[in-house]
């Protein structure tokens, strides 16, 4: 039994009690397996217990006041004599005296198997964790005078399997080569939210697009990216170039109208060459209701493997890790494909947006062909000039809208670290009064194999409620270390 106390909760809720129990049965010691030539150890173990989480800011349960020289009790007036008023230090968060420990019930069953005189060990493990009373900063009606409140909401279940294998591949008098391998699969499902909602929309707090791009929905997984489904560019065939309106491109009947993007310098959001989304609800317009799951940030499986060995006085280790089949949203590329905060000089755009690939309104001599009434055949020339173009014009994108074009597969294999060492002969070090001297060189993050176009696909994977959002993240550093271990 473990008892933890925390002043982050109000009196009466400060203590949490977390019992646990575990047990094991060594089957290899039973008569039916004793002295088995193949199995040197076989153990079945299981554990169940509770764990608590109090990782929130301090004083979420009570008002905190600060001295304000000008903020009066009514409309912020100052007093005649300069008296100081006390005001709430955080005017956005409403205290909650009922918040308490977030609790996780953990259950796991594993089998430890050793074969060939412990030369090969295999450990499969199944776990099933249930977390309830999640500590979550909820949005509350602003009519209360506040906008947020820390609350205990919902329940999530986390199930998965893990497999680890360790073994000696080669073993001799003055050499050994060993290997290890781990494999895991995990899925986190939402069992319950609060007492009133089955859906909670969340906006990632790093990129902060114009529409919520994550969703907690009862029965769904955690970490699903929501957004609009990219459907290419609007085609000139979907419009009528009206000669009575200076050849304005007027949408034909049946053309889906984009109400998500605002108008740009070229005109309305629904024009030839502009981004087109799929109308999932069939109402003829692109609205918030057309958002759907466009990415799953949970890897299908993940793990690592490594090699270690020794030959005479030389030794080495190399460790790799991998994740397979998970999505990353490349918000950095989105910004470099737009004119957001860059409406005058388009210096920073992706190299893909060459004149050959992007939609353009101006021909090589600088003449604008769209809505041009001075050049005969300007409409046909405009259409011909953009035939086969696959990308929009960055100047036409002035809003942050999460859509499927920038969802990428983040699968990767990384060489996490490698070390090579050499130990001086003992007959030499003893002369110097030392029992052991080893020199080594190590490097970390030497390379990564991935199809992801950003710096690093491993961005907040399975972390928090809005994972795998890559926006202006620095790449992981590559380090080299040279050193020595001396034992006297």
Q: What values do phi and psi take at 476, rounded to 5?
A: -65, 145
pLDDT of residue 75: 47
pLDDT of residue 465: 83
Residue with tokens 């009528």: 240
pLDDT of residue 344: 64
Report the 3 state secondary structure along the chain. Answer: CEEEECCCCCCCCCEEEECEEEEEEEHHHCCCCCCCCCEEEEEEEEEEEEEEECCCCCCCCCCCEEEECCCCCCCCCCCCCCCCEEEECCCCECCCCCCCCEEEEEEEEEEEEEECCCCEEEEEEEEEEEEEEEEEEEECCHHHCCCEEEEEEEEEEEEEEEEEEEEEEEECCCEEEEEEEEEEEEEEEEEECCCCCCEEEECCCCCCCCCCCEEEECCCECCEEEEECEEEECCHHHEEEEHHHCCEEEECCCCCEECCCCCECCECCCCCCCEEECCCCCCCEECHHHCEEEEECCCCEEEEEEEEEEECCEEEEEEEEEEECCEEEEHHHHHCCCCCCCCCCCCCCCCCCCCCCECCCECCCCCECCCCCCCCCHHHHHHHHCCCCCECCHHHCCCCCCEHHHEEECCEEEEEEEEEEEECCHHHHHHHCCCEEEEEEEEEEEEEEECCCCCCCCCCCCCCCCCCEECCCCCCCCEEEEEEEEEC
Say how many C-beta atoms besides its own lie within 10 A of residue 434's C-beta. 14
Give this prediction's pTM.
0.86
**What sign does the dihedral 56-62-68-71 (CA atoms) show?**
positive
Beta bridge partners of 199: 217
What are the pLDDT tens digits along the chain (488 aa)? 899 999 999 999 999 999 999 999 999 888 888 888 899 999 999 999 999 999 888 888 888 776 555 555 544 455 555 555 555 666 678 889 999 999 999 999 999 999 998 899 999 999 999 999 988 888 788 887 788 888 898 899 999 999 999 999 998 889 999 999 999 999 999 999 877 778 889 899 899 999 999 998 999 999 999 999 999 999 999 999 999 999 999 999 999 999 999 998 889 999 999 999 999 999 999 999 999 999 999 999 999 999 999 999 999 999 999 999 999 999 999 999 998 877 666 667 899 999 999 999 999 899 999 999 999 999 999 999 999 999 999 999 999 999 999 999 999 999 999 999 999 998 888 888 788 999 999 999 999 999 999 999 998 887 778 899 999 888 889 999 999 998 88
pLDDT of residue 93: 83
pLDDT of residue 79: 53
225 Cβ contact partners less than 8 Å away, ≥ 6 residues apart:
213, 214, 293, 294, 295, 296, 297, 327, 329, 402, 407, 468
The span from the CA of 128 to the CA of 65, in Å, is 43
Residue with tokens 């008296």: 83
């Amino acid at each position: 039994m473990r008892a933890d106390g925390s002043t982050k909760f109000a009196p009466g809720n400060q203590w949490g009690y977390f019992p646990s129990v575990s047990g094991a049965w060594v089957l290899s010691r039973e008569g039916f397996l004793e002295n088995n030539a193949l199995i040197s150890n076989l153990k079945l173990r299981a554990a169940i217990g509770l764990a608590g989480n109090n990782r929130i800011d301090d004083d979420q349960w009570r008002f905190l006041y600060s001295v304000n020289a000008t903020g009066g009790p009514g409309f912020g007036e100052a007093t005649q004599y300069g008296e100081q008023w006390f005001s709430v230090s955080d005017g956005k968060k409403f205290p909650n005296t009922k918040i308490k420990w977030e609790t996780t019930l953990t259950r796991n069953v594993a089998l430890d198997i050793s074969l060939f005189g412990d030369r090969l060990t295999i450990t499969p493990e199944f776990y099933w964790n249930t977390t309830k009373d999640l500590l979550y900063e909820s949005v509350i009606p602003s009519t209360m005078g506040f906008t947020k409140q820390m609350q205990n909401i919902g329940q999530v279940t986390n199930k998965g399997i893990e497999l680890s294998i360790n073994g000696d591949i080669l073993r001799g008098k003055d050499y050994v080569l060993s290997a290890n391998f781990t494999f895991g699969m995990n899925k986190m499902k939402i069992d319950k939210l609060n007492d009133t909602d089955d859906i909670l929309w969340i906006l990632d707090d790093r990129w902060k697009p114009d529409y919520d791009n994550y969703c907690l929905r009862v029965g769904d997984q955690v970490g699903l990216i929501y957004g609009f489904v990219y459907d290419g560019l609007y085609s000139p065939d979907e419009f009528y170039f009206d000669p009575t309106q200076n050849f304005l491109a007027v949408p034909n009947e049946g053309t889906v109208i984009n109400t998500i993007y605002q108008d740009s310098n070229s005109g309305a959001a629904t024009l030839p060459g502009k981004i087109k989304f799929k109308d999932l609800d069939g109402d003829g317009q692109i609205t918030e209701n057309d958002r759907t799951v466009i990415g799953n940030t949970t890897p299908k499986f993940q793990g690592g493997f490594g090699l270690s060995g020794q030959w005479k006085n030389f030794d080495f280790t190399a460790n790799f890790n991998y994740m397979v089949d998970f999505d990353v949203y490349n918000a950095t590329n989105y910004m470099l494909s737009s004119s957001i905060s860059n409406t005058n000089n388009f210096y920073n755009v992706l190299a893909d947006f060459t004149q050959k690939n992007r939609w353009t309104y101006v021909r090589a001599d600088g003449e604008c062909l769209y809505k041009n009434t001075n050049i005969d055949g300007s409409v046909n020339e405009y259409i011909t000039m953009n035939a086969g173009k696959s990308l929009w014009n960055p100047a036409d994108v002035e809003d942050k809208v999460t859509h499927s074009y920038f969802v990428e597969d983040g699968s990767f294999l990384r060489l996490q670290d490698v070390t090579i060492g050499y130990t001086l002969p003992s007959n030499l070090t003893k002369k110097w009064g030392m029992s052991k001297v080893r020199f080594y060189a190590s490097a970390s993050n030497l390379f990564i194999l991935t199809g992801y176009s950003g710096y690093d696909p491993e961005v907040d994977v399975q972390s928090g409620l809005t994972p795998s959002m890559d926006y202006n993240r620095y790449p992981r550093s590559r380090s080299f270390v040279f050193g020595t271990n001396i034992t006297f």
